[in-house]
Structure 1
Amino acid sequence: MKYLIINADDFGYCPKRNAAIIDLFRAGRITSTSLLVNGLFAHEACQLSNTYRIPMGLHLNLTEGKPVTIDLSLVHTLVNDKNLFHGKLGLRNALEKGHINIKHIEHEIYSQLRLFQTLSGQIPQHIDSHQHIHVHPNIVNQVCKISNEFGVKRIRAPVDEIISHTLDEMNSFYTKIVNQTLSSFEIFDKYSLKYPSYFIGMAIMGKNMTLDSLKISIEANKNKMTASNTVCEFMCHPGFPSDPCNGGCSFEGPDDFSQSHERQHEYDLLSSNEFSKLLNSYNIELCLYNKIDK
């Protein structure tokens, strides 16, 4: 393996998430983060980003919490009777049934990119999404087209080589994400969006992130990564457990995973000397998303 992006998702979700991500960046254990602009602490996250110069992408969110579009009549098919997004599976089901107006999707993408610029004073270094919604076949073209308009040049490509090793109830969902991503490459290329050649992290989130599982992920990609400028992205979700009433993307507060110790588990592993030694044993060099431009 040559170069590795280590990107921490969900910046802006809560103060404890923000603190953990900044800790890891300052320690040199992650290289970048992705901002949830509808996170209740997105403004705090951008202040921290400006202070510590952490590179940020947009973590496009169409599934959790409240839209950032102020006039909800402009995106009303995206929300339920509580004016909240339909959820990870709810949005996908609604798309399949034809209940979502794609113009509403486009409007919310525009709104989130504009808010990112307003909060941070910059364009995202890349775009990815909450629960990988950006590769959904009904959405990916809109994501790429609008990202291109804003000058975003890079996008996440979540094709995890070891999904088959994750034998839990989420495996079929992850497999679908991989297949949708493979079908998205043509659209990424159409809009000249660059993406890392390889990806790890979907199969090793939370308690599934161990030194052994990381080694399996690296080994699954190592022999394919022969070019001198090959880049892999490692997606992670580190944090300290959220306070039940402080964070999230709406009045409903943080979700169960955010409050669990699985976030702390990821933080502890990324902070460990053993993790650093593992990367060194494979001669891995950390890099930013702009490495894929070269």
Structure 2
Amino acid sequence: MNKLIINADDFGYCKGVNYGIIEAHTDGVLTSTTMMANMPGFDHAVELHRQHHNLSIGVHLNLTTGSPVLEHLKTIVDTEGNFRSQAYYKGSFIIDQQEVYDEWKAQIEKILAVGIQPTHLDAHHHANLFGEFNEIYFKLAAEYNLPVRNNFNNQDPTRRTTDGFVYTMESVLQSEGSLNQLFATHDTVEFMCHPAFLDKFLLASSSYTYPRTEELDLLTRPATKDLFRNQSLFELTTYKQI
């Protein structure tokens, strides 16, 4: 049967995001999330994970928000020691790729250290697509034997990933017809989403705020649950089955 993964980015960002993701899982159709190891809500996310073991957790590799896990980095941080913004990577840039590898590996290891076995990798702000960072992304996936999010042009059949990836789930979660159209050309699909309740930290630090509450509503509304319950086209699953 076709497989659908619904993954929430940013677990660990802050309490508002963490609670929204748990709500989307326990009272909605969310099956998976990816965790940010360096953000203020990390410990809270770990605590919530211990209460909700059925929520699949991957690693949301971060290079653009907050401060790194490692110290003494030079090229991927600004003068205050925080990650450079994603705007920095939109032009030409000079980065020590070893620093990217070391920091991303440290983020994975921090999550492993609290007893979470990640199911897959993806990247905050799709940072794996900056420059040649996709090769670092693939290298870490191979080292840890993990699937990756398919936000790239997947020409290599040996990559463990879905064959479809949807950036905006609202465009597909309209009707059974739109889902049928999607799975006519794909066997395995991931929907990316960002459900959250709003708190002060999120409002002060993110440019993507109120739409998160709309995504939470979409994932938990009865019409969405009925749509999924009444179809036989796909099964909801996680990256454990990829």
Counterpart check, 1:42 vs 2:42: yes
TM-score, length of structure 1 as denominator length: 0.74
Match of 1:15 in 2: 15
* Change over 3 Å in CA distance of 1:216–1:133 after alignment to 2: farther
Q: Which one of 136, 141, 163 corresponds to residue 142 of structure 1?
A: 136
Q: Deviations over 1:108-167 (max 9, x none)?
A: 112111111123x13310000101112334111112112322x23210002xxxxxxxxx
Which runs of structure 2 are paired with 1:171-182 in the superposition (5 Å)? 181-182=152-153
CA distance in 1, matches of 2:181, 2:82: 39
* Residue in structure 2 matched with residue 286 of structure 1 by the alignment: 236
Alignment of 1:64-143 (within 5 A): 64-69=65-70, 71-72=71-72, 75-93=73-91, 96-97=92-93, 99-119=94-114, 121-143=115-137
- Residue 31 of structure 1, CA deviation: 0.5
Counterpart amino acid of residue 144 in structure 1:
F
Match of 1:266 in 2: 215
Task: Name which of 189, 192, 199 aligns with 1:235.
Answer: 192
Question: 1:34 Cα shift?
Answer: 0.5
Q: What is the Cα-based RMSD across aligned positions, in Å?
A: 2.3
CA offset at residue 256 of structure 1?
Answer: 3.1
CA contact (8 A) 2:89 2:130 kept: no
SS at match of 2:198: coil
Partners in 2 of 1:139 and 1:42 — Cα distance? 24
- Alignment match, 2:205: 254
125-134 vs 82-91, which moves further: 82-91
Consecutive unaligned residues in structure 2, runs of 5 or more: none
Q: Cα gap change, 1:203/1:269 in structure 2, threshold over 3 Å: closer, same or farther?
A: closer
- Cα distance in 2, alignment partners of residues 22 and 147 from structure 1: 26
Comparing both structures, which one devotes a greater share of its residues to helix? 1
Residues 66, 6 of structure 1: alpha-carbon distance in 2 compared, 3 angstrom cutoff? same
**Which secondary structure state, in structure 1, belongs to the residue aligned with residue 146 of structure 2?**
coil
Cα distance, 1:217 vs structure 2: 5.8
Write out aligned runs for 1:190-205 (5 A): 192-200=158-166, 202-204=167-169
After superposition, the C-alpha distances for 1:69-91 in whole angstroms (9 at most, x for unaligned) are: 1x22xx21001122111112213
Q: Residue 90 and residue 218 in structure 1: after superposition, are their counterparts in 2 closer, same or farther (change >3 A)?
A: farther
Which of 149, 152, 156 is the equivalent residue of 2:145?
152
In 2 relative to 1, CA 215–138 (structure 1 residues): closer, same or farther, beyond 3 Å?
Answer: farther
- Mark the runs of 5 or more structure 1 residues left unpaired by the alignment: 159-180
Q: Is the 8 A contact 1:49 1:55 kept in 2?
A: no
Number of residue pairs aligned between Structure 1 and Structure 2:
240
Q: Runs (4+) of structure 1 moved beyond 4 Å?
A: 208-211, 214-217
Distance in 2 between residues matched to 1:216 and 1:131, nearest whole Å? 30
Alpha-carbon distance in structure 1 between the residues aligned to 2:105 and 2:172: 37
Q: 2:223 aligns to what SS in structure 1?
A: helix
1:242–1:199: structure 2 CA closer, same or farther, 3 Å change rule? Answer: same
Instruction: Say which SS state the counterpart of residue 75 (structure 2) adopts.
Output: helix
